[in-house]
Amino acid sequence: MTGKPTPTSAPKRRGRRAPTSTQPDTPTGPCRVCVYIRRSTDDEHQPFSLLAQRTALHKYVDNHPGWVIVCEFEDDASGATTERPGLKKALDAAKAGMYDVLLVYRVDRFSRSLAQFVDLAATLDAANVRFTSATEPVDTGGAIGRMILQFLAVFAEFERNMIIDRVKSGMTAKASKGQWAGGTRPYGYLVDKDTQRLVPHSEEAPILRDIFRLYTRERLGTRAIASDLNERGVPNRTGKKWSGHTINRILDNPAYLGDIAYRDVYVPDAHEPLIDRDTFRRAQDIANARGDVQTQRAMSDSDYYLTGLLTCPQCGQRYIGTSANGRTRRYRYYTCFTRTRYGKHATCTAPRLPADDLDHMILKALLDFYTTAEPVLAAMIQRAHAQHDTTTDDRRAELTATAHQITSTENAIDRYHTAFENGTMDDATAGPRIRDLRQRLAQLRTRHTELDASLTSQPEPPPPGTVARIRDHLSAIMTSGTATERKAAVETLIAEVQLTDQGVVPVFKIPTDTTMPPPETDGGTSGVPPVRTMVRSVGRAGLEPATEGL
């Protein structure tokens, strides 16, 4: 007898998964929120003021139980770039694990560039921080939120490009009518508010004509003209001192002919000219003739081995290579950039240094050093290790104190911003203080980076054979090398050249196995191997050999 079949459960269907929600999971429990707000220059007539954004975001957080704002950052800058102080602080705070959600009013407040937005979102994702918009269905906690986020970033970039196109179209339309298209007014003119055309500036126009006279009749150079104006106490348009670069731009501006030139639009005789066309043409001819000489000088930059290595002890600017033509030869100098730009009447009076003598002495000092470098390097590295060990605790304590000062300074800046926006402090009081605090903050961050690097690295001795290869290379290029090879060797082997009361002191880098390439094979194309850049260098208290006569 057969029994009844035993009921069994229906077979499971294979190849299917249980449906999962693609919506973002709403954070439960306490959630730390960072608020980021931004106002751009194109938002003057839009309801996106910093106060309006802050109010809306605070209300949004209040409607989410468990959410609490732990930090706020703001910027008053374009969203086309990530070089925004507030944004950098927000990202640094995310990396430090200070919050869980970054909240913005709209996606375009965060970025208007899709490529930059993707990078920013990746930075937040790596820090395990969610990105949320208060007015858009965006939360990077889910796949749909991330997809919508990228769509909104595309439209934000599109909107920015449309704004740029509209602005350019408006400026082109104004220029085609003979009006000033916009931007900084030319020196010597004012912009008439009613007609939007350029009109002569009663005080600046005579100075402008004098600039052209000095250039075309007296045949003074641009730096000489700038020096003359500075000596006479004549300020430029911004109230600062003149420079040769500013004079150069004036001499090349067709607005002084009475013409308007913007993009592809050129309107002659649009306003009253300050310079006649013959004078302007003579200025162009002189500039072109002198430009050929400057081009030849620029092509011989390799003649100056120490460019970028010398720092002026008076103003802190770099020395650059300059020259002067005598009756029988060309004289080469290293001159402070400040003096080069503003002339002999500049605030910096640092003397010029003879380039020929200085280049030769530095090369000789290099060769002398590497002739007996092994024992010197061993002693200096041993001393550096001892100094590193004995000062580790002090530097670690200073690092902690510097981090605390950075936080305190950032909080102080935020308080000044809040007071200004709430109307309890005016710009005349808050503005200068905020600028001072930002300068202090930059100094603290630089010091923090230096301390952190010094705690994690120690100088190491060069691999065997490195010093010998460098010595042979220096000996070869000093006897038969080119100027380019000598300059490359100096840049690779010297960290800086200090100008002290005792003379000129080169500070050498510690060589590594990549400082010099291995000996060249038969297939080489040059008798002297090229010099590669090194990665380690010795600080100011490092390798400073005695160099009498430098």
The secondary structure of 62-98 as a DSSP string is: HTSTTEEEEEEEEE-S-TT-S--HHHHHHHHHHHTT-
The bridge status of strand 189-191 relative to strand 198-200 is antiparallel
User: What's the one-letter identity of residue 14?
Assistant: R
In the block, tokens 């909104």 appear at 152
Q: Which of helix, strand or coil describes residue 377?
A: helix
pLDDT at site 24: 43
Q: Active-site residue among 40, 111, 227, 243? A: 40
Please report the pLDDT score of residue 70 as a whole number.
92
**Res 72: pLDDT:** 92
342 and 531 Cβ atoms separated by less than 8 Å: no
The pLDDT tens digits along the chain (550 residues) read 444 544 444 444 444 444 443 344 445 557 899 999 988 654 444 446 788 888 889 999 998 888 999 999 988 877 667 788 889 899 999 998 899 999 988 877 877 666 677 778 788 888 888 888 888 766 555 555 556 556 655 666 666 667 666 666 767 777 788 888 777 889 999 988 888 899 999 888 889 999 998 888 887 888 888 888 888 788 888 878 888 888 988 998 899 998 888 777 788 888 999 999 989 988 888 887 666 444 444 444 457 888 878 888 888 788 888 888 777 888 888 888 877 777 666 678 888 889 888 988 888 888 888 887 777 777 777 777 776 676 677 677 778 888 888 888 888 888 888 887 777 777 777 778 888 888 888 888 887 887 787 777 766 666 777 788 888 888 888 888 888 788 888 888 888 888 887 788 888 877 765 554 444 433 333 333 333 323 333 333 333 343 343 4
pLDDT for residue 538: 34
Q: What are the distances in angstroms from CA 62 to CA 25, 57, 386, 499?
A: 18, 9, 56, 61
Query: What confidence score (pLDDT) does residue 526 get?
Result: 37
Long-range contacts of 397-406 (CB under 8 A, 24+ apart): 398/451, 399/448, 399/451, 399/452, 399/455, 402/444, 402/447, 402/448, 402/451, 403/448, 405/444, 406/441, 406/444, 406/445, 406/448
Q: Which two tokens stand for residue 351?
A: 């003397």
d(CA 142, CA 22): 6
Per-residue pLDDT at 245: 86
Q: Decide if 526 is catalytic.
A: no
Q: State residue 513's pLDDT score.
A: 55
Q: If phi over 0 gives left and psi between -120 and 50 gives alpha, with beta otherwise, what is residue 467?
A: alpha
